[in-house]
Every structure is written in C-alpha cells, then in structure tokens.
C-alpha cells in the first residue's frame, strides 16, 4: 500500500459486512408529499369543465379566442382580427 493519508479508497474494509447491511432495521424516509395539492387538482378539473363548455357552445375557434384574451392579454377585437375576422359582425 502506498504511503499517504488513510481514506476509504486506499484501506481495506474492517469487516466483512457490505454497506447494505441486511441485519439493520429498514428505515422508511416517509411518504413523499403529493406534488399536486387538492385545491390545484380541483381547479384543474373545473378549468377543464369550463373549456369543454366553451368548446361545446363556440367550437375550438371560440376556445382559442378566449384563451388569447384571458391568457394572452389581447383585447377581444384584436384576438378576433388575428383569427381572421374582418367585419364588425365577425368580431363580436
């Protein structure tokens, strides 16, 4: 063995036990918390219900315009024009 500091890599193990000693009691680290809270799960279900209702009443184009207005920060008029509405009637 080369001279130098003693560490776990250069010295042989002191016993014949492996690092995973099967005689030691098992330790449970506890249950990991659920990454999605109950409130967030309920809000997601409600949002999907609202999206389904908007799609049933106004189709996927209506859902897309609604998303542009609510999450994109666009006005209803601007969102409608972006989706190809040309007349005042189409923008309503």
State pTM to two decimals: 0.52
pLDDT of residue 61: 86
**For 9, which DSSP code?**
T
The full set of domain ranges for the chain reads 59-92
Cβ atoms of 63 and 55 within 8 Å: the answer is: yes
The C-alpha atoms of residue 55 and residue 48 are separated, in whole angstroms, by: 10
Give the model confidence (pLDDT) of 2-42 as tens digits: 556 666 666 665 666 556 667 777 777 777 777 888 899 99
Give the model confidence (pLDDT) of 39-67 as tens digits: 999 999 999 999 999 999 989 988 988 89
């Amino acid at each position: 063995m080369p001279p130098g500091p003693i560490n776990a890599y250069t010295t042989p193990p002191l016993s014949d036990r492996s690092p995973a000693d099967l005689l030691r009691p098992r330790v449970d680290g506890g249950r990991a918390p659920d990454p999605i809270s109950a409130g967030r799960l309920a809000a997601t279900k409600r949002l999907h219900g609202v999206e389904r209702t908007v799609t049933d009443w106004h189709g996927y184009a209506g859902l897309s315009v609604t998303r542009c207005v609510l999450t994109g920060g666009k006005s209803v008029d601007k969102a409608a024009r972006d989706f190809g509405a040309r007349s005042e009637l189409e923008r309503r």
